[in-house]
């Protein structure tokens, strides 16, 4: 007990250090932003454009505040602070603040999903209500956005470290990867009124719940992430991937068709639950924009409404921002390709390196039984993997057969107990009479680091996102689009740790990341941006 307590305290000290580094990274971005704003005028001139809401009743300004906001006796420092905050609202932040204030007025605003602006509105109206008379309603909305995103980033860094310790089973490597995430090339977007921070927090927290076996909590968090950014629907792939492995095992090796059907049934429900928020928002846009009442008749308004599958988000991206397959491949976009190339190259190298190192695991999707790694690849929780071991040898088996399962996370078992997952349904995890030997084989085959089978599903998702970022999206968006992909940082950290010229490689990677942060902040603050 004393040893476990010391390990737990040490783990929390590590996490405290991670949060300190994350805070330091936010202060660095703030300092760079203020410096570049002082040296040059912003390129985006839309920050101070704030016309009245199209329908006055849609304005979400709290009742009774308007007169106080316009009070000529308001303090000068309040006006200055409010003007400075409003002047910092650029690019996507203009849309998010406008949506938080007036709702979805325009068709193109539906490209920005609702969870972030709704949270900004809630915090402004119920938490930061007292700031509105001092700095103004719009400035308070923007301040709420900054506060939400930077707090979300701290939470994202916290869960990033926990996930990395669990997957990599190497605290030093996990810490290096987390530091790279804290100072990632898209850091300015995690600081500003963009959706990256909240999306990362929800995605990482959902993955942590999935690893602990709390699939319905993971489903809820994945669904919320899909209502923050459209690529959140890809998180449903983790549920599908895990269900594929479980169904394959029950059907082909344990000869349990009923359990196979049960796994598939719950997987379908969970996947539907994880994509439901995004689909519901598309339905809201269809209801709002496609039909109007004219003498008690419904009249179609927009051309996309006549599609067999009316997909508002895709139409808006293509119609207003020219997003489509190879639409961005022009010689004049070569500078933007050069800006995105470091992140795209790092993602590609991570995938290719893993496929070359572990081709059987990669190309069999982790299903190859002879590798003894299918449970690891499926991201099954600890008790899902080792319940047969514990049942056959008792509590002592944990120290004998699982010496290196999660050395950096000694409180995993405690959290499982708190989540009431210590005693899973026996019928659900009843194994073949050879399961004891299989579990021993899995325990032996576990490998730490980037090349463990646990990273497989993350790499498959990264491969899809890299292809989308390279050939469909605006390529300058690739940096922030891929910035929440964990394998990129795991791969970079592993190269830093394993290289013969480790110190030199570390210096090069850190120099590139910090230079990229500076250049990105400069472009975002003053000139033509990444996005």
pLDDT for position 428: 37
DSSP code string of 269-284: HHHHHHHHHHHHHHHH
Q: Decide which of 252 and 66 is more confident.
A: 252
* Dihedral (Cα; 376, 380, 386, 391), 10-degree rounding: -160
Q: Which residues contact 384 (CB under 8 A, 6 or more apart)?
A: 213, 375, 424, 429
**143, 385, 419, 445 from 424: Cα distances, Å:** 45, 12, 11, 24
Helix (H) or strand (E) holding 300: strand 297-300
Least confident range from 8-22, 57-71, 321-335, 407-421: namely: 407-421
Residues of the chain with pLDDT > 90, as a percent, come to 31
Q: 3-state DSSP helix/strand/coil percent for the chain, to nearest 5?
A: 70, 0, 25
**462, 511, 515 from 508: Cα distances, Å:** 24, 5, 10
**Mean pLDDT confidence for 225-250:** 92
DSSP assigned state of 213? T
Judge whether residue 390 has pLDDT over 70.
Answer: no
Q: Which residues contact 501 (CB under 8 A, 6 or more apart)?
A: none
Judge whether residue 78 has pLDDT over 80.
Answer: no
Helix (H) or strand (E) holding 491: helix 486-498
CA distance 236 to 273: 9
Q: Do 436 and 396 meet the contact criterion of CB atoms below 8 Å apart?
A: no
Mean model confidence pLDDT for the chain: 77
Question: Is the C-alpha dihedral spanning 166, 169, 175, 177 positive or negative?
Answer: negative
Nearest partner of 479 among 307, 331, 343, judged by Cα: 343
Of the pLDDT bands very low, low, confident and very high (cuts 50, 70, 90), residue 521 is: low
CA distance 227 to 277: 6
Q: E-assigned strands of 85-236?
A: none
In three-state secondary structure terms, 391 is helix
Q: At what angle do helices 456-471 and 236-248 cross, to 10 degrees?
A: 140
Alpha-helical segments (H) within 300-358:
312-321, 334-357
Which residue is it, tokens 């300015």?
188
Judge whether residue 423 has pLDDT over 90.
Answer: no
Helix (H) or strand (E) holding 197: helix 196-212
In three-state secondary structure terms, 294 is strand
pLDDT (tens digit per residue) in 162-216: 999 989 888 888 998 999 899 888 888 999 999 999 999 999 999 999 998 889 9
CA distance 324 to 219: 29
pLDDT for position 507: 66
Q: Find residue 298's DSSP bridge partners.
A: 293
CA distance 47 to 193: 12
pLDDT (tens digit per residue) in 461-520: 999 999 998 888 877 788 888 889 999 999 988 887 765 555 666 666 666 666 666 666
pLDDT for position 465: 93
Of the pLDDT bands very low, low, confident and very high (cuts 50, 70, 90), residue 398 is: very low
Which residue is it, tokens 């605003």?
109
CA distance 213 to 272: 18
pLDDT for position 455: 92
Q: Backbone dihedral region of 308: left (phi > 0), alpha (psi from -120 to 50 degrees) or beta?
A: alpha
Of the pLDDT bands very low, low, confident and very high (cuts 50, 70, 90), residue 329 is: confident
Judge whether residue 399 has pLDDT over 50.
Answer: no
CA distance 443 to 124: 51
Judge whether residue 15 has pLDDT over 80.
Answer: no
**Mean pLDDT confidence for 277-283:** 93
Upper half-sphere CA count for residue 150 (Cβ side, 13 Å): 20
Q: Over the Cα atoms of the chain, what is R_g?
A: 25
Q: Do 377 and 456 meet the contact criterion of CB atoms below 8 Å apart?
A: yes
DSSP assigned state of 192? S
pLDDT for position 126: 92
CA distance 402 to 375: 14
CA distance 31 to 16: 23
Helix (H) or strand (E) holding 167: helix 137-168
Residues of the chain with pLDDT > 70, as a percent, come to 69
In three-state secondary structure terms, 183 is coil
End-to-end CA distance of the chain: 52
Judge whether residue 46 has pLDDT over 80.
Answer: no
């Amino acid at each position: 007990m004393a040893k476990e307590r010391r390990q737990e305290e040490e783990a929390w000290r590590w996490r405290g250090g991670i949060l300190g580094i994350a805070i330091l990274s936010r202060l660095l971005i703030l300092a760079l932003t203020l410096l570049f704003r002082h040296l040059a005028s912003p390129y985006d001139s839309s920050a101070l454009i704030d016309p009245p809401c199209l329908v006055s009743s849609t304005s979400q300004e709290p009742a009774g505040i308007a007169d106080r906001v316009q009070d000529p006796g308001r303090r000068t420092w309040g006006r200055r602070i409010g003007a400075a905050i409003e002047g910092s609202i650029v690019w996507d932040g203009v849309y998010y603040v406008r949506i938080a204030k007036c709702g979805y007025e325009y068709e193109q605003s539906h490209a920005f999903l609702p969870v972030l602006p709704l949270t900004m509105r809630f915090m402004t109206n119920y938490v930061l209500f007292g700031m509105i008379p001092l700095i103004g309603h719009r400035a308070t909305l923007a301040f709420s956005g900054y506060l939400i995103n930077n707090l979300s980033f701290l939470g994202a860094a916290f869960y990033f470290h926990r996930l990395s310790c669990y997957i990599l089973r190497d605290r030093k490597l996990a810490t290096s990867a987390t530091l790279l995430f804290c100072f990632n090339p898209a850091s300015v977007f995690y600081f500003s009124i963009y959706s990256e921070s909240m999306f990362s927090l929800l995605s990482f927290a959902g993955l942590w719940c999935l690893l602990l076996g709390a699939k319905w909590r993971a489903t809820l968090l994945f669904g919320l992430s899909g209502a923050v950014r459209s690529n959140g629907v890809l998180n449903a792939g983790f549920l599908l991937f895990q269900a594929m492995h479980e169904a394959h095992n029950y059907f082909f090796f344990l000869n349990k068709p009923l359990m196979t059907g049960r796994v598939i049934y719950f997987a379908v429900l969970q996947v539907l639950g994880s994509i439901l928020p995004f689909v519901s928002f598309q339905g809201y846009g269809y209801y709002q924009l496609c039909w109007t009442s004219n003498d008690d008749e419904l009249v179609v308004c927009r051309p996309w409404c006549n599609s067999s599958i009316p997909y508002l988000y895709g139409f808006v991206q293509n119609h207003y921002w020219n997003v489509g397959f190879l639409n961005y491949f022009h010689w004049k976009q070569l500078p933007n390709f050069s800006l995105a190339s470091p992140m795209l190259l790092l993602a590609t190298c991570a995938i290719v390196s893993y496929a070359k190192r572990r081709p059987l695991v990669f190309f069999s999707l982790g299903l190859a039984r002879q590798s003894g790694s299918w449970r690891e690849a499926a991201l099954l929780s600890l008790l899902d993997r080792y319940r047969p071991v514990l049942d056959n040898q008792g509590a002592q088996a944990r120290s004998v057969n699982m010496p290196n399962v999660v050395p950096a996370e000694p409180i995993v078992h405690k959290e499982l107990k708190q989540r009431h997952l210590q005693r899973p349904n026996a019928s659900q995890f009843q194994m073949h009479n050879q399961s004891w030997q299989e579990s021993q084989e899995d325990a032996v085959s576990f490998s730490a680091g980037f090349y463990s089978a646990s990273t497989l599903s993350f790499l498959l998702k990264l491969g899809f996102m890299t292809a989308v970022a390279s050939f469909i999206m605006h390529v300058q968006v690739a940096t922030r689009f891929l910035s929440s992909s964990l394998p990129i940082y795991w791969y970079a950290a592993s190269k830093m740790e394993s290289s013969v010229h480790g110190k030199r490689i570390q210096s090069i990677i850190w120099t590139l990341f910090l230079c990229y942060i500076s250049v990105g902040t400069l472009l975002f603050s003053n000139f033509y941006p990444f996005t």
